[in-house]
Structure 1
């Protein structure tokens, strides 16, 4: 029996070592294709935050990406529509893109604090329009709750706002988030993850078409670096509990809120999120027919117009 156990341990070790070498090679390739030097590193609360910027003058707009993504999600979609008149700040959430992960970074309050720090350093003394997509919508709401002094208005894109009551959790996120198994499991993710997600992207956009070269332009490959994949899994795994604690505070919000929601979104159920949010606080809801979970692509012009409207609005609720 000892020989069997020993042989099994050796086999697992060999496979694990091979996976580590493969994941290291993958990380090197994907970071070369999506270099961290494209962004600006800020030291916030003792941890680095990576920020992509566009535009040099005008009111600030901070954009917060969703799960499985990074700041590049906005760099070729919304930023070009706004950079002529606004300072667009696109931040990687902790552990995503090139922002540093830290203990407790899965908490919405911790992520909002990092986003607030971006504004404190790059737009001191100014209020910004905050744009949040999906998971980023939850962070944007928390930022408005915890630091209303930095927020002029919210534009939420298919936001996740409330505890949805269970389900919708992929098995690999649960496995990746585990303390002991997760670091080992995520070493094999680079070998299978990219091809799997390319097939799944269609479902995220459906019924809208997937933009040409979306995977490459948004730097989705950065997700499959083992630490980033684990960070994403931890975020998703803890989100329900975080939202259950956060959502009772929404009546505190005193900023204008615009929500873009796809009528055929299959990633989330809008009635469980924006439907509940509307019961707690006034919302300007834009329902998009024949749209899925990525409204800022096909409807980027409408989203940009909403951002401009909030940025120039002199009234507040």
Structure 2
């Protein structure tokens, strides 16, 4: 498996803050939201596929990749608000399909709760918010001062991270590792990640308070929802899909076999087909 270099991205200023983003295609808007410590480049494959029929917008979340940190605390509500501000600045006026991976799934849910009029549908990909269990690597970041030591950039750490994300190790290319290392070396990367991790969880796992409140609120919405998971996810276990089915019984679900934390990459064609068929069936 050879990773293709990601295409160039653009930047704009939102409330005086630099935001890195990419827009391609035309049609109904789709917004792609990445996970913690990641960037919009996790959606390169889907941006290309979905842009055949949609206006596809991917964005680096605050303090990730090329987007500057927020002035205030880095929390889930703050991230959702930042995405809303970005969509306004990017001219996204119509309800958008939100596709969120990992933390991005929780951000998508939070945005849907805070402003349902912005959202045509939710696609939650190995999403945070459905259980306490999370990889020990993230739980340890909640410990002071261990967290900062663990986030010291190194090629070995970057490679281990990529290996944890993909079940198929052929996706763990030198190019992906080099990109992950470059992202980790951004001055804002470690402080933002530590603040975010500690707001969402402890060494025991993901905090229940925000999860319960968010799922209760999402379950009350009338928004078409698709929840997908990889059965070999080492970051957020596939057992969370059972909780998702119980808490959001109207949602459609799909489990990808022999797939890790990022089905949108490991199963790109199948993922694209699943999502576009879901939108077609739901009339969105």
Relative to the length of structure 1, the TM-score reads 0.75
For residues 125 and 175 of structure 2, the distance between their equivalents in structure 1, rounded to whole angstroms, comes to 18
For residues 181 and 52 of structure 2, the distance between their equivalents in structure 1, rounded to whole angstroms, comes to 26
- Aligned mate of 2:20, from 45, 50, 68: 50
Question: What's the offset of the Cα at 1:207?
Answer: 4.8
Give unmatched runs, 5+ long, in structure 2. Answer: 201-205
For residues 123 and 296 of structure 1, the distance between their equivalents in structure 2, rounded to whole angstroms, comes to 26
Q: 5 Å matches for 1:240-251?
A: 240-241=206-207, 242-251=210-219
- Aligned mate of 1:118, from 86, 91, 112: 86
Partner-residue secondary structure (3-state), 2:143? helix
Question: What's the offset of the Cα at 1:123?
Answer: 4.0
RMSD: 3.0
Q: 5 Å matches for 1:163-312?
A: 163-164=131-132, 168=136, 169-172=138-141, 174-175=143-144, 182=148, 189-190=152-153, 193-207=154-168, 209-210=170-171, 212-213=173-174, 215=176, 221-239=182-200, 240-241=206-207, 242-271=210-239, 273-281=240-248, 282-312=250-280
Counterpart of 1:15 in structure 2 is none
Residue 123 to residue 254, structure 1, CA distance change in 2 (3 Å) = farther
Is the 2:133–2:236 contact (alpha carbons within 8 Å) kept by the matching residues of 1?
Answer: no
- Aligned mate of 1:39, from 10, 29, 33: 10
- Aligned mate of 2:29, from 37, 52, 60: 60
Counterpart of 2:124 in structure 1 is 156
Question: What's the offset of the Cα at 1:95?
Answer: 0.5
Give unmatched runs, 5+ long, in structure 1. Answer: 1-32
For residues 278 and 11 of structure 2, the distance between their equivalents in structure 1, rounded to whole angstroms, comes to 26
Work out the number of aligned pairs and report it: 271
Is the 2:43–2:265 contact (alpha carbons within 8 Å) kept by the matching residues of 1?
Answer: no
Structure label with greater radius of gyration:
1
Question: What's the offset of the Cα at 1:254?
Answer: 1.4
For residues 62 and 28 of structure 2, the distance between their equivalents in structure 1, rounded to whole angstroms, comes to 25
Is the 2:163–2:172 contact (alpha carbons within 8 Å) kept by the matching residues of 1?
Answer: no
Question: What's the offset of the Cα at 1:167?
Answer: 7.0
Question: What's the offset of the Cα at 1:170?
Answer: 4.5
Counterpart of 1:100 in structure 2 is 68
For residues 135 and 276 of structure 2, the distance between their equivalents in structure 1, rounded to whole angstroms, comes to 36
For residues 213 and 128 of structure 1, the distance between their equivalents in structure 2, rounded to whole angstroms, comes to 34
Larger helix share, 1 or 2: 1
